[in-house]
């Protein structure tokens, strides 16, 4: 595999830190995870462009800035247990896995779940577990989670996910009736407010 250290450093500097992401753990995680390892081989040369890219099953790997922004909004700490809904290629789970103690990630496409699990294992992410299933149901037997992140938006917060959030936990999800109307929303367990301080 090519050494992309310089490309990752430039990505973090120009695409992420320059846009206001300041969480040192997130920035270091973004520097350390090789995005090209989570792309189809023919797209590896575009790994550090400032854009989402196509992956298998007609899905996309998120723009690096969005991955960093959502990770920063979670306010992760090294001892946290995290649930991710929408594994995709496994890239965001790898970033989360560099920060949190345990990451559980669910993907509805069986092929994507299998590919992501293989990539993560090959790269040594023993603290990330991948499941094929319905993400709206969460992963109740592994709950509660200190943080939950949902990659794909929906019209409302899934109740099952709120129930699996630990007291004081953080949940980040794009919410809205359609993609053009979605906004980033957070919910903090134990609060009455719909939006937490880390998720404006």
The CA dihedral of 15, 116, 143, 30, to the nearest 10 degrees, is -20
DSSP assignment letter at 170: E
Q: How far, CA to CA in Å, does 53 sit from each of 22, 128, 156?
A: 25, 23, 26
pTM flag (> 0.95): no
Using one digit for the tens of pLDDT, what is the confidence trace for 81-135? Answer: 999 999 999 999 999 999 999 999 999 999 999 999 999 999 999 999 999 999 9
62 assigned to active site = yes
| Residue 88: both structure tokens together | 């995709």
Which among 13, 62, 89, 193 is annotated as catalytic? Answer: 62
- All domains of the chain in start order, with CATH: 5-188 (3.40.50.150)
Q: Where residue 1 falls among pLDDT bands split at 50, 70, 90?
A: low
Angle 44-46-52 from CA coordinates, rounded to 5°: 105
For the cut 70, the answer to whether the pLDDT of residue 194 exceeds it is no
In tens, the pLDDT along 15-63 reads 999 999 999 999 999 999 999 999 999 999 999 999 999 999 999 999 9
């Amino acid at each position: 595999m090519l050494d992309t250290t310089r490309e990752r450093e430039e990505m973090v500097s120009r695409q992420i830190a320059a846009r206001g992401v300041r969480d040192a753990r997130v920035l270091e995680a973004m520097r350390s995870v090789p995005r090209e390892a989570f792309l189809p081989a023919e797209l590896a040369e575009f790994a550090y462009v400032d854009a989402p890219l196509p992956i298998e099953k007609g899905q996309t790997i998120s723009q690096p800035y969005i991955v960093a922004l959502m990770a920063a909004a979670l306010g992760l700490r090294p001892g946290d247990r995290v649930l991710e809904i929408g594994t995709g290629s496994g890239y965001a789970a790898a970033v989360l896995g560099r920060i949190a103690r345990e990451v559980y990630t669910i993907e509805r496409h069986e092929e994507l779940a299998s590919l992501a699990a293989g990539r993560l294992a090959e790269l040594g992410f023993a603290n990330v577990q991948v499941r094929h299933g319905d993400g709206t149901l969460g992963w109740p037997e592994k709950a509660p989670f200190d943080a939950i992140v949902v990659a794909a938006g929906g019209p409302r917060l899934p109740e099952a996910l709120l129930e699996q959030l630990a007291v004081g936990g953080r949940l980040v999800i794009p919410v809205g009736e359609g993609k053009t109307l979605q906004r980033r929303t957070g919910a903090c367990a134990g609060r009455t407010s719909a939006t937490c301080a880390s998720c404006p």
